[in-house]
Amino acid sequence: MSISVYETSKMHVSIGEKEVIKTFKKRPGYKKRFKREKKALQRLKGVDGFPQLISHRNSTVVMSRVAGGNQDQLSTQSLKELRKLVDNMLEAGVARHAIPERDLLIDNNKVSMVDFERVTLRRHRLSPGWLLAKKVTKFHLFRLISNHNRELLSESEKKELDTFTNVRSKLQKLKKVRTSVRKVVRSKSKAGNYTKKFESGNSSKD
């Protein structure tokens, strides 16, 4: 029996006393998200702090429910637990594209993590894609720790976080510029095509 239901345009999640049923709705990319979640949970089998995969079929995964809830402020102990959790996750071959606090469940300082549809799965330990994915995961970990207690980071981790933050900021600015340029080019292209059609129509009448 469901205790609660969480639903978005992309998924339907039914939360029971002991298990969670997550169904990916048929939206663009849903098959990839389902496969990533399933494979991530398979790799995290037996690793403490993560849901355990019970079954999967079509676009639905059934997993164990982990204890805890979201907290506005993470304690020093919880942040230390989170660091261990991320290390264990990476060792299992799963790297996250982000670590939003809504995906962290806290129960007496014990930290658990849920939602694995946006991850990179390791193929080879030294592959460039995996090494970059690990860096991205570490960046999000360091940023989260810094938001709650920056002093828990070593000096080298603080420098790495600051460097990554600056690079990310510049890339985001470039992305905005590129998006703006594309919109201008598209608008001009559409206007040009319309003008040509109009002109060709006039020329045929002459």
What are the pLDDT digits (tens) for 158-196? 999 999 999 888 888 888 888 888 777 777 666 555 445
Give all domains of the chain, ordered by start, each with its CATH number. Answer: 2-156 (1.10.510.10)
What pLDDT is attached to residue 185? 79
Q: What pLDDT does residue 135 have?
A: 95
What residue type is assigned to position 206 of the chain?
D
How large is the average pLDDT for residues 92-116? Answer: 96
Helix (H, G, I), strand (E, B) or coil at 12: strand
pLDDT over 90 percentage in the chain: 78
What pLDDT score was predicted for residue 198? Answer: 47
Residue 19 and residue 61 in contact, taking contact as beta carbons nearer than 8 Å:
no
Judged against a pLDDT cut of 80, whether residue 1 lies above it is answered with no
Q: How confident is the model over 189-204, as pLDDT tens digits?
A: 665 554 454 454 554 4
Percent of the chain at pLDDT above 70?
A: 90
What is the mean predicted confidence (pLDDT) over 120-129?
A: 96
Per-residue pLDDT at 192: 58
Q: What is the pLDDT of residues 15-68, one digit of tens each?
A: 999 999 999 999 999 999 999 999 999 999 999 999 999 999 999 999 999 999
Q: How far, CA to CA in Å, does 171 sit from each of 1, 120, 174? A: 46, 20, 5
Q: How much is the pLDDT for 194?
A: 47
pLDDT at 202: 54
Residue 9 to residues 30, 101, 143, 151: CA-CA distances in angstroms? 11, 21, 29, 39
pTM: 0.82
Q: Alpha-carbon distance 203 to 87, whole Å?
A: 69
Indicate the DSSP class of residue 69: B
Which residues, 6 or more positions from 54, have their beta carbon under 8 angstroms from its beta carbon? 19, 62, 63, 64
Q: Are 101 and 62 in contact (CB under 8 A)?
A: no
